[in-house]
Amino acid sequence: MTGIRKLNEATTHRFREVILSRLEELEAEDSLGRDGQSVVSLDQQAVGRLSRQDALLSQSMAKATQARRDAKRRGLRAAIARLEEGEFGYCEDCGEDISPKRLELDPTVTRCISCASG
């Protein structure tokens, strides 16, 4: 068999570090994105109508970006759980190995290329 059917300790550690690093990056992005999600002022005397609409649009985009980060965070935590259970690197559909290069690119994937494209 090829791939990572039996993850050795070094490989498990490497994937765990990649996942934890990405979780830390998401936390850093969260702190930067909080300002964009703040409540938009209703005082049209202080802020013109178009500026307020721009602010509402920016707030909406910031919330959508936060939702994507939250989904990515859930995927990374699920990947950690699969690592700990010895299920990391197996396709959830066919049970075959997921390519290590695919996992390095995105450790949250749960399907091999064949199943993902089918």
User: What stretches of 9-99 show up as alpha helix (H) in DSSP?
Assistant: 9-33, 49-85
Residue pLDDT, tens place only, 14-73:
999 999 999 999 998 887 766 555 555 555 555 566 677 887 888 888 889 989 999 999
Residue pLDDT, tens place only, 84-115:
998 999 999 999 999 999 999 999 999 999 99
The CA–CA distances, whole Å, from 116 to 1, 105, 111, 112 equal 20, 15, 6, 6
Give residue 3's pLDDT.
Answer: 45
More confident residue, 33 or 10: 10
Q: Residues 73-83, buried b or exposed e (16+ Cβ, 10 A)?
A: bebbeebbebb
Cα dihedral 21/22/28/33 (nearest 10): 180
Q: Amino acid identity, residue 90? A: Y
